[in-house]
């Protein structure tokens, strides 16, 4: 299952350019993160995922890496990042960096060498045809922009040429096999990057587009999985306490086949996670489960989640997220009470949970113009709201200098006010994280069972180890009766649930955790 520390890990995702500006240039930086580590610790989070902080032209907010071994100057220096590792470790916080293995920036030195007409050691580091007038087998490509006679494949945006890990079944003479010297060289280059940062104090990596390595891979991603198993073997041997989490959202492949320790449960339309918080992209209105009286049905979530959980639970952890940098913030549609119930569910489920910066105070999704390739995602990347001070405490720069504008609303939530309010979303999240740390039965590997999913009159009731949990996101009172309630007491609650004589009464919009007396 991987490093022991993952069992009790609660991650906090930080978008570095938007978290805290320490030098008043309007952009968040590493020293700003260091200044706020005590906040992260007091929240109860004992692990960080930091979005890309490497040198980049920022055509895709840092997911277009120009130098894997150099911190982007706008964030600081390599020494600042090493200091962050050390300061975090002093507080018992592990730190994952964001690894982008499938592509680089078109400004990376590897690509500049690869684009030259004369052959060199980097000529096959990327995927090229050998004729500028040929296409790329139906895949996105660019041609006519370099002195080299060839077209090169894109992995995503136009500025992101695909690194060459080979093709599962090469059928053109310009296609490399997965065991070719050039594909092997790419794998070793990424291993070298990982070793560089692991040796510097990093605790592992979140892997961007983890399933995108081998081209024309089969439906099971068997060739890409083989690469990650090889990397996992390297880590198990040399860095056994380091962790990997994949942007894959397919635990059968990422956990069972590829050897990742964790796999994100991402917001894909109509999957189980989507039905919980964001089921509003289809016709017929919002049917999100945690939207009060939206006719959500927990069985839609369970039909998707349970088979994945059962098949992968012995191999790794499914990671629930409150949100991430690619996803609309849940406060876009959920009220403060609805957020509390949703977070209570996420933080009491199996696996390793991730809290996106600002979600713990209910930061809103903003209607913002695209920035650095963000497009509709930009609205979830606005600056952290710390206080009512200038720029919500994010920066002392002039407002027009900010990386993105802060929420202009008079009632924009902020940390300072919510810390002073025991009824705030932030206070609830702090209590929930503390609860998870306090009970081993709420941690990553404790068993999960469905006890009652018929919500006609009863709440959704589930078990984690010896604990019994129930949630009722609707406005109607619901009850659950059963022998499992005998000898139990409430140890945590949202709303006013009560238990007596074998009956659990759950008022509208309530949550309960019950332990044996």
Q: What is the pLDDT of residues 274-293, one digit of tens each?
A: 999 999 977 778 999 999 99
Q: What pLDDT was estimated at residue 398? A: 98
Q: What are phi and psi of 436, to 5 degrees?
A: -60, -40
> From CA 252, how far away is CA 249, in angstroms rounded?
9
pLDDT of 95 above 90? yes
Confidence of residue 345 (pLDDT cuts 50, 70, 90): very high
Write the pLDDT tens digit of every residue in 430-485.
Answer: 999 999 999 999 999 999 999 999 878 899 999 999 999 999 999 999 999 999 99
Q: How far apart are CA 496 and CA 478, in angstroms?
A: 12
Write down the pLDDT at residue 365.
Answer: 98
Strand partners, 177: 167
Residue 261 is predicted with a pLDDT of 98
Neighbours of 148 (CB within 10 A): 18
Instruction: Please tell me the distance from the alpha carbon of residue 387 to that of residue 16, in angstroms, as a whole number.
Output: 18
Residues in the chain: 517
Query: Which pair of structure tokens corresponds to residue 442?
Result: 């709420």
> In which element (H, E) is residue 437 found?
helix 425-438
Tokens linked to 6: 């993952």
512 and 451 Cβ atoms separated by less than 8 Å: no
Alpha carbon distances (Å) from 262 to 147, 245, 325, 451: 42, 4, 18, 26
The whole-angstrom separation of Cα 45 and Cα 34 is 14
Share of the chain above pLDDT 90, in %: 95
All structural domains of the chain, each given as residue ranges with its CATH number in brackets, are: 4-102+183-438 (3.20.20.80), 103-162 (3.90.400.10), 447-516 (2.60.40.1180)
Q: Helix H segments across 120-217?
A: 181-200
Q: CA angle at residue 249 from 260 to 317, to 5 degrees?
A: 45
């Amino acid at each position: 299952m991987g490093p022991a520390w993952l069992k009790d890990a609660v991650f906090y995702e930080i978008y570095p350019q938007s978290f805290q500006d320490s030098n008043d240039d309007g952009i968040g930086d590493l020293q700003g993160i260091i200044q706020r580590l005590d906040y992260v610790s007091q929240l109860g989070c004992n692990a960080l995922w930091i979005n890309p902080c490497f040198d980049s032209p920022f055509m895709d907010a840092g997911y277009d890496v120009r130098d894997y071994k150099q911190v982007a100057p706008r964030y600081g220096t390599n020494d600042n990042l090493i200091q962050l590792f050390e300061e975090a470790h002093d507080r018992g916080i592990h730190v994952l960096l964001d690894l982008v293995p499938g592509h680089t920036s078109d400004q990376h030195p590897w690509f500049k060498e690869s684009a030259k007409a004369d052959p060199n050691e980097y000529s096959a580091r990327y995927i090229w045809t050998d004729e500028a007038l040929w296409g790329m087998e139906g895949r996105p490509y660019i041609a006519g922009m370099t002195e080299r006679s060839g077209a090169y494949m894109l992995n995503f945006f136009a500025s992101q040429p695909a690194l060459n890990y080979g093709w599962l079944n090469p059928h053109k003479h310009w296609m490399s096999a997965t065991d070719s010297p050039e594909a092997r060289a790419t794998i070793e280059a990424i291993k070298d990057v990982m070793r560089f940062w692991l040796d510097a104090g990093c605790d592992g990596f979140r892997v961007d587009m983890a399933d995108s390595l081998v081209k024309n891979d089969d439906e099971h991603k068997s060739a890409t999985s083989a690469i990650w198993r090889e990397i996992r073997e390297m880590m198990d041997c040399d860095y056994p306490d380091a962790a990997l989490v994949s942007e894959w959202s397919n635990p059968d492949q990422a956990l069972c086949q590829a050897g990742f320790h964790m796999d994100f449960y991402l917001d894909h339309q109509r999957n189980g996670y989507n039905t919980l918080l964001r089921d509003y992209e289809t016709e017929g209105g919002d049917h999100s489960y945690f939207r009060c009286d939206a006719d959500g049905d927990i069985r839609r979530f369970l039909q998707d989640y349970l088979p994945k959980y059962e098949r992968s639970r012995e191999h790794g952890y499914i990671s629930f997220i409150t949100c991430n940098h690619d996803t609309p913030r849940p406060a876009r549609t959920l009220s403060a009470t609805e957020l509390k119930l949703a977070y209570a569910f996420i933080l009491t489920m199996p696996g390793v949970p991730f809290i996106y910066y600002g979600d713990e105070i209910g930061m809103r999704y903003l209607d913002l113009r695209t920035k650095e390739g963000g497009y509709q995602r930009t609205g979830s990347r606005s600056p952290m709201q710390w206080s009512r001070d200038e720029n919500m405490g994010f920066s002392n720069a002039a407002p027009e200098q900010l990386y993105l504008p802060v929420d202009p609303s008079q009632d924009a939530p902020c940390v300072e006010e919510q810390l002073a309010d025991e009824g705030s979303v932030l206070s609830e999240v702090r209590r929930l994280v503390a609860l998870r740390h306090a009970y081993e039965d709420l941690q990553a590997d404790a068993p999960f069972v469905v006890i009652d999913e018929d919500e006609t009159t009863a709440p959704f009731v589930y078990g984690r180890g010896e604990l019994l949990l129930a949630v009722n996101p609707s406005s109607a009172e619901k009850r659950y009766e059963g022998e499992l309630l005998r000898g139990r007491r409430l140890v945590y609650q949202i709303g006013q649930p009560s238990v007596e004589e074998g009956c659990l009464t759950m008022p509208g919009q309530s949550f309960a955790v019950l332990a044996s007396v």
